[in-house]
Structure 1
Amino acid sequence: MNTRANQWLRTSQVLLGGNLKSLAAPVLIIMVLGMMILPLPPFILDLLFTFNIALSVMVLLVSMYTQKPLDFAAFPSVLLFSTLLRLSLNVASTRIVLLQGHTGPDAAGKVIEAFGHFLVGGNYAVGIVVFVILVIINFMVITKGAGRIAEVGARFTLDAMPGKQMAIDADLNAGLIGEEEARKRRTNIAQEADFYGSMDGASKFVRGDAVAGLMIMVINIVGGLIVGVAQHGLDIGMAAKNYTLLTIGDGLVAQIPALVISTAAGVVVSRVATDEDVGQQVVSQLFSNPRVLGITAAIIGLMGLIPGMPHVAFLLGAVGLGYLARWQFQRAERVKEQAARPVAPAAAPAAELAEASWDDVALVDPLGLEVGYRLIPLVDRNQDGELLKRIKGIRKKFAQEIGFLAPVVHIRDNLELRPNQYRITLKGVEIGQGDAYPGQLLAIDPGQVAASLPGTPTRDPAFGLPATWIDVGLRDQAQAYGYTVVDAGTVVATHLNHLINGHSHELLGRQEVQQLLDRITKDAPKLTEDLVPKTVPLTTLQKVLQNLLEENVPIRDMRTIIDTLAEHGARVQDPHDLTALVRLSLGRAITQSLFPGTGELNVVGLDANLERILTQALQAGGGTGLEPGLADTLLRETEAAVARQERQGLPPVLLVQHPLRALLSRFLRRSLPQLKVLSYAEVPDTRNIKVTALIGGQA
């Protein structure tokens, strides 16, 4: 017998998956259906009413202690189940009230009796008024407001999804986050949209529950009078008293939890996501300003001195608020004193300076980041500066995408800078600077925003887009308007990443080239043993790699680069000619980076006459330059063609004959850095070409 019992137990555990949580929803649905169909004794009804009240209180407390709406993502389902539970309890209690109501006020259980007698003093007229007021408060105020907030929140969340996705893609491209973190953020955005959409629908259940409670009360009173008078022979007064009190108790015991649940719904959808729960937000923002508390205390105190007013109540409130204002003022003064406390003086210099040595020679840092004093927390290791982690991510992403390890970024504070200013240097020379404001957000206008925002207008330091520094509380509004919203650390990191990529050819020194060769030799020693210095000097290899990087061609495919140099290095020594040969070998990768996929190439072309003139000018001048008039015409028409490409959402790529590519690339690079010059010889035979604009002619 014991063996069979053990087998049954093991089988049940396997069927349940060892997780009893999965039974919660089915059991609740069975309870709801059972209460609607089966008659329940008063004691069981008391337990279920008590459970309903406890459930509503738990939901309210959980909603108040969550910091983000998604922390209580199950709330729409809880709202639905709690509504169905209350309606099923109404059906079960109505059955008992109509069947046993003639026996006395405790016919439907002690809970309904307590709500019918204790809360309204046994007066059914007062009970009806109280019940109707609760229904009106729940239906007209709380539920309607929460439903409206959920509706608007769902709309704004959906409108803000493209901007949030752009922000995630920007962080991913800048190396600030990895694929896993990006996937997690995208999942959170989708869940947020689903949550507000579900809340918009679930709030309709609560409104319907309030209307149903009012109708159930009328039906119960009318039905009770008919049953009491016609079936049990009670006089109309006694029947009205018994059934009305029972109905009022039943309605109150259901509507009070409904009111609590509606309040929880309002709390969930109306809060702004921060690192504080609702209670902390209210206390920190409502009672933290001593000036507000002092003025309020003075107004309440003056009202308490008016003849006819309840002096004790008003004056007690004024004294309490005044004491709180004084305590907050003293607290703020103590904080100011601690901030202004002088720092201990530095140790006195040595009486005799030591002799100068080679240790006193300070070498220039390849990459430097200087910050004003207000930006120090972003780069302070002791304060867990977020910018330090992002810079590590930038260097790692740079190494993976470009093909060599960028130098370490040396960070130091600079008192000569403005408090919120930072400066990025390359070999001691400034290559970029900007301002960042910790505690604020930069809302970047990608070009299609719905409205402007209050704040400090500026421009994105990395790409020059119009932007505005805004308060943290405006994040959701900015994203709903279509802005890309980033914090101060992301602003500096994105700017640094942009400049490192743009100056990668200057960061590749002889030491980096040698380390790159050592890394390749470790995995493929035969690949490099005859290249440097027998075939190609190290300086020539460095110049070839720098030429590639200057035109934004990664050097990750070092196998192809080395094979090409080993093949042609013995007879070609000019770095620019070697670069052109390497580009031909990397043509497939270069084309793929500009035109992902296998579709056709929408490019800008040269008119045949202009191409012939440029070829003649190249042969006549030996590649040294172009005649001024021709150069001006070429530059002007190229700018117009690039503008047309960008308006059509096409990549600005100029396709020319191979002998002209290097000349036009050097000539156009300074004025049109976004333009990429590609040669016909670099395009794979499998790709189709479509010329969408002509320079020097009509397409």
Structure 2
Amino acid sequence: MKIRDYAVLVSVIMIVVMMVIPLPPLLLDLLIMINISLAITIILVAMNTKEALQFSIFPTLLLLTTLFRLGLNVSTTRSILTNQTGGQVIETFGSFVVGGSAIIGILVFLILVIIQFLVITKGSERVAEVAARFTLDSMPGKQMSIDADLGAGMISDQEAKKRREKVSQEADFYGAMDGASKFVKGDAIAGIIITIINIIGGLLIGVIVHGMAMGEAAQLFTLLSIGDGLVSQIPALLISTATGIVVTRAASDGNLGSDITKQLFAYPKMLYVVAGTLALIAFFTPINPLLVLPVAGVIAFGGYRMQSVLAVEEKEESEAAGGGQELEELKSPESVIDLLHVDAIEFEFGYGLIPIADKNQGGDLLDRVIMIRRQCAMELGVVVPVIRIRDNIQLQPNEYVIKIKGNKVAAGEIMLDHYLAMSPGIDDENVEGIETVEPAFGMPALWIREDMKEEAEMAGYAIVDPPSVVSTHLTEVIKRHAHELIGRQEVKALIDNVRETSPAVIEELIPHLLGIGEVQKVLMKLLKEKVSIRNLLVILETLADYASQTKDSDLLTEYVRQALSRQITLQYADQNGPLQVITAGASLEKKFADSVHRTEQGNYLSIDPESSQSIFQKISEQASQLQQAGVQPVLLTSPAIRMYMRQFVERFAPDLPVLSYNELEPEIEIQSVGVINISAGVVNVS
């Protein structure tokens, strides 16, 4: 047996012992305060219990509290009749609570007894009796329901056994409460009888034994008896109320000590309320605070300790239950559906990069992701889906991977205790570091220590901290793959947003001229060439103008690009100088126009391998020269073959913009740095 089991057994024995052995007034005061605290605890627990089995020990507890209260009555009666005192608590209730008037005390006591006996106790007794009858009548039906669920395979054998035990326990409880309610009724009757005995016995003893005057004896023993009755009946009233609340609870299989300690103190926070109540009694009544406050302190400390223990136990149980639940979910066939979900964007990193994502370690990656989504919305006009960020122990400690729809599209490696230094074009020998490649743009760079940072800045190096390297790389990957992130559902959301301000164009275009899928194809082609779709109203109006003429998404995209000419011009033009372009010559354009094959399934480009290789080489050479000069290379061609030129170029230079003359504003100044032509099967640049 555990210590708490012995404590309960000793407490029961001491209740019987105190009926026989006289107790000093100070100990009586302490026991009376414990009685009041116990009553408050019981009613609070009863009010917070959600189902019957959580407080199934209540019938037995009701018997013990009644026995304890009657034992106190016997001890206080002995003290009153023997020593003309019942302790400070009884004297306070007899004088302070009822104003020192014996008549008022008797009336208050009778009112409390009437409330308890005629209202609460009688009602609880009737409810318990009816509940017991209905519970016993419903037992066969509940048993049949359990057997039916078991036969249908809806529950397991263990679950069926548990439910049968619960039905049996509920029936036991209702039967027990039907009898236990008689304890409350008998307690009320006993309280009246004991009070009358105290008054009559006190008068006889005071006059005959102590030689007191009749009035003096009546005043003294009546107040003491009334105080004793109030001290006893107030906790009895609280427990009677708890009886009415808990009358539908069920019995338990646990032993008495375990059930009392587990169930009575199942709500440790309620002990703070009990301690606070006792503290108020100590401060606002003449009761000695040194008597009450220690009890309140012990109760509050006990509540704190039990709350701490319960928190640890609940955490362990939840972790164990969570693991078991996950295991069951993995075993169930329905769990396979969850495995089919693929996140639109994933950012996985090794354990060494956890500090950049952990706010507790100063990481701001989550905040940077929010800014990336805002930046993409402003620049591209798309709502980037939620970016799933998680660590991956399979990666190297300093490695990270970016996935689009479950597929790896980019990766990198950073050093958290270093800075990335990118050369201005002329390397400084004094700047030492670990050679690497900047992941977003593929530029050569160095990982330098923090003590080298100032010297590198003076040498003209661009210094970037590791979180900025990651966020820049993630931003560029999203921009490069934005066309893969916009599906029909995302397009519908964008169209619905335009519908709120411009419903006319939506009603004309969708679904009469084009479907959402056809609009999606156009938007995907624009995003693939890094053309922002933020001005969606212009795009939809252009589609509404030309959709009646053709449903070809390539042609519709060309019409939209021409409608966005000002936007495209500003995207590539340099405000401080002319737009430098590589121009497709007339012979090259004729070669492409002749190589277009038209079929019922669509048009496609077919150029012989030798010519393709030569054209690839010349365009790449021109583009590299412009890049080395720090200029964004642009390939300029006629509107008729622009889309075919783009299909040809994107295979080896996906980031090379291909523009047509109609996509540039007339006032823009254009400077051709090279014209690519074909003569006698040879590609040349002039």
TM-score, normalization by structure 1: 0.49
TM-score normalised by the chain length of structure 2: 0.49
Bigger Rg over Cα: 2
